[in-house]
Structure 1
């Protein structure tokens, strides 16, 4: 009961006392592009930590902040002038439900999340981070000398924005997971699946340089993921 009252106090302060009319107007006009929306959720998270005053509560506070963002952004896109009162009441009810669930879960478990900052998990976070943007940037630089002249044209014609980057990130993370759980054979299936979809299009395009460029990038991406996975399982 005490923890729920603390969470409710933080919610009331953050949602009503510390939210200006200018911020509300900005959120209604710009919605997800509003700077105030993100500041509002950060304030809620910080207030929760401040009022609860327990360093081990941070995962719950983060959960409250993220849920607040999801609920608020949903409200902003659903609300209309005629139904503002109903949307407001539903919005507040959802916030209170989240606070109740968090308070109930915390009171029952009071799990110490300090293990999430152990050496094992810090290494895991580092490997996951390494396999995303840093690897993408490294691969892009490493094969930049062989970049085909018509690469930009191929990206503009029917290609999703940043699709290659996201595909690369996902494939490296999947390979990492396969290695950690000991499913090395799945890497072969992943490579085969990508080859079927990717190189079929390249063959039709009849551009050898582009085919070789993609092949080098793919093998380099797979190599980085495999080495990172092997490093992780052997250093533990």
Structure 2
């Protein structure tokens, strides 16, 4: 579990937080010859190496094999993705492919070489259970930031395309533009995950009320089609934000 969580954290950091937009555009334009892809893979090599070394407390030939397996498959999947359109099904296939590779890597160590995996991290002053909780919380907060934001941008794009309702697709830019969606998700998961259910209900209700009153002025300026699209987007976005955050918060509350 510690190895898998460590690899996932490294993946999210490299794929979402440390991948520059110029690298992505370079990949789309130049595919396997892209210098942006090369830089992106270098970041993955560094972070994945750190995750493997920390979770195994040593470096063996198996570590090298695991690193080569993860990086080559990531490279192949990313090249494949550059030839596809940026739509939900290809986005899901891309991330699912990376997830499966990391799961296979962690499962292989657990099944065949369990003695290599350290029971706890020596640099964290907590017991094993507390360290698992620490990793789970860290991964959840990372996931609800940029990865979830970019995912929503992909999934909700059809609700805003060709509607001219002025909704920007920038939810994934949590470091460059801290947006209300990211704040709502992170606030919900923290409050629910720490067991503050009454406070969570109050704040979510307050956010729903704020969403409702935000929409009122547009009922006078939008066409019927635009206003309908705006309502569908805003309420879907509200439910997705809090639904995912509350669900993960409950899991954290029960198991950490």
Q: TM-score range by the shorter chain?
A: 0.3 to 0.5
Give the TM-score, by structure 2 length: 0.40
Give the TM-score, by structure 1 length: 0.43
Look at both structures and tell me which one has the larger radius of gyration over its CA atoms.
1
